[in-house]
Chains A and B, each alone.
Chain A
Amino acid sequence: MEVPILKQGAFLIATFQAALSDADLNHLRMGLVQQVVRFRSRAVIVDVTAMDVMDSFASRTLREIAHMIRLRGAETVIVGIQPEVAFAMVQLGLTLEGVATALDLEEGLAYLNEKFKTAN
């Protein structure tokens, strides 16, 4: 299942539709980095609201996405981690250290708009 990447002004929004396999996540990682370059995007929002499970691989991939995008000079915000998914992540010992998170898409956009207000 491919993750659609939507261009919204200077931002890209990737919305996870359902349970993603490792191959899908790797595909998304490549796709996002390429699109950030192509559109000269300032930031990427990854919306994981629909994600059923955040295991070690998924959380490592999200961290890698954020780091790669930072190397391109853009920012990543992960939005929509569900309460029970957050609980399971903490039990499992997973963190998204160094990666910005927000409650949902709206909060994520508000955070980025505020951050890039002076720059735009």
Chain B
Amino acid sequence: MSAGEIRVAINSDQDIVSARQKGRAMAAELGFSTGDATLIATAISELARNIVSYARKGQITLKTVNGLNRQGVAVIASDDGPGIRDIQQALRDGFSTSGSLGLGLPGVRRLMDEFEITSQPGRGTTVTVKKWRQ
């Protein structure tokens, strides 16, 4: 594990708080504004919540990433849960299978600059999001 990488195991609602606090600290360290650090922390909270609600356990990996003349934060939320059968549907506002608000994924997409999801039914889901420092 490199210095610019933090892994947080997500097993309970307490871990949601710890993951988003670590993400905020990393963003602050990289020089993100308070506003952007809050967007990142909020996205982590939603992604960790999805893990707890749908897969029960998984992990959040926080990484610093380097682009052309810019630095950013990548958040990778992965689990071995039931997976998502219809990703297009899951990315639509208002859709939920867990009785939640159904804002999770489309909301997270709006909070961050880049969004990528891979999921296999029965195997799990990995969501990778990035935010670049302005």
Contacts and interface: CB of A to CB of B under 8 A. Distances in A.
State the main secondary structure of chain B at its contact with A: helix
Interface residues of B, number: 27
Contacts of A56: 46, 49, 100-101, 103-104, 107
A94 interface: yes
Interface residues of A, number: 23
Interface in A47-74: 52-57, 60
Nearest to A83: B35
Contacts, number: 74
B35 A87 contact: yes
Contacts of B37: 84
A93 B103 contact: yes
B39 A87 contact: yes
B17 A55 contact: no
B36 to A, nearest CB: 8
State the main secondary structure of chain A at its contact with B: helix
Given A19-B17, A52-B41, A92 B24 contact: no
Interface stretch (A20-28, A96-104, A112-120): A20-28
Given A84-B35, A87-B38, A52 B24 contact: yes
A92 B17 contact: no
16 contacts: A20-B17, A52-B41, A55-B42, A55-B46, A56-B46, A56-B100, A56-B103, A57-B100, A83-B35, A84-B35, A84-B38, A88-B38, A88-B39, A92-B111, A93-B107, A93-B110
Interface of B: 13-14, 16-17, 20-21, 24, 34-35, 37-39, 41-42, 45-46, 49, 93, 100-101, 103-104, 106-108, 110-111
